[in-house]
């Protein structure tokens, strides 16, 4: 098991990705942790955007790191390490999705994909409710659109970097991002409409109280 090194080797933490790769390939295997901690969040997000499931995303991200470590000696710096690593994660997630489709039919429509996890007790908290709504909307995006949205709008990558990471053209990135935003707006509009109706429910004790008050006044 790798030991935490962030506090023990600040000189190494400051190294570029490529410099860390060189040291890992040279035998300083523990430094691979630096790369993992730098990109854990990105890999988890991009894989989850494809698979729509927390546990699956974590499992595939782990597989992607294992594969990246085994192939680290082949990294030649022709692309940024982050792009190279993202490509591996996308490949692993896409392969997992193809295997799943052999057993479970998956429709491409946004309304047909339900969130992977049920909301917990924190749903009652306003700020977490908003986060949940947004997460559900992104989860509902088709696998071809979710990764583009996550890399462009969540991770803040440029169109060029997103295209390189996903192996598609810049024009395709722009088209998919436009489509993703349109679907998100549709999903959020529908959800917000349902939530707005819930805000003004007048039933239960309040309804009984009003009826009693009116009869009392009569």
Structure tokens at 208: 């009984």
- d(C-alpha 2, C-alpha 144), whole Å: 35
State how far the alpha carbon of 103 is from the alpha carbons of 83, 98, 109, in Å.
31, 9, 19
**Is pLDDT at 70 greater than 80 in this prediction?**
yes
pLDDT grade, residue 203 (50/70/90)?
A: low
**Is pLDDT at 129 greater than 80 in this prediction?**
no
Per residue in 13-67, pLDDT (tens digit) is 788 999 999 999 999 998 999 999 999 999 999 999 888 888 898 999 999 999 9
CB burial class (10 A; 0-12, 13-18, 19+) of residue 24? Answer: buried
- d(C-alpha 162, C-alpha 155), whole Å: 10
pLDDT grade, residue 8 (50/70/90)?
A: low
What's the mean pLDDT when you consider all of the chain? 79
- d(C-alpha 75, C-alpha 71), whole Å: 7
Identify the sign of the CA torsion 34, 38, 44, 49. negative
Tell me, what's the pLDDT at 117? 44
Give all domains of the chain, ordered by start, each with its CATH number. 1-106 (1.10.1740.10), 113-218 (1.10.10.10)
Strand ranges for 86-139 from DSSP E: none
pLDDT grade, residue 173 (50/70/90)?
A: very high
pLDDT grade, residue 77 (50/70/90)?
A: confident
- d(C-alpha 166, C-alpha 53), whole Å: 20
């Amino acid at each position: 098991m790798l030991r935490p090194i962030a506090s023990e080797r600040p000189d190494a933490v400051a190294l570029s990705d490529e410099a860390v790769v060189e040291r890992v390939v040279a035998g300083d295997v523990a430094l691979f942790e630096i790369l993992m901690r730098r990109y854990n969040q990105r890999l988890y997000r991009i894989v989850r955007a494809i698979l729509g499931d927390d546990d699956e995303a974590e499992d595939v991200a782990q597989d992607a790191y294992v594969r990246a470590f085994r192939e680290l000696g082949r990294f030649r710096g022709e692309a940024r390490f982050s792009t190279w690593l993202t490509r591996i994660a996308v490949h692993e997630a896409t392969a997992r999705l193809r295997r799943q489709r052999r057993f479970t039919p998956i429709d491409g429509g946004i309304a047909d994909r339900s969130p992977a996890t049920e909301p917990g007790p924190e749903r009652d908290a306003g700020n977490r409710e908003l986060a949940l709504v947004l997460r559900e909307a992104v989860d509902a995006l088709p696998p071809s659109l979710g990764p583009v949205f996550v890399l462009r709008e969540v991770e803040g990558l440029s169109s060029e970097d997103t295209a390189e990471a996903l192996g598609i053209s810049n024009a395709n990135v722009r088209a998919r991002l436009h489509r993703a935003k349109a679907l998100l707006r549709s999903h959020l509009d529908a959800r917000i409409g349902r939530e707005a109706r819930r805000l003004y429910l007048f039933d239960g004790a309040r309804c009984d109280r009003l009826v009693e008050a009116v009869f009392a006044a009569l």
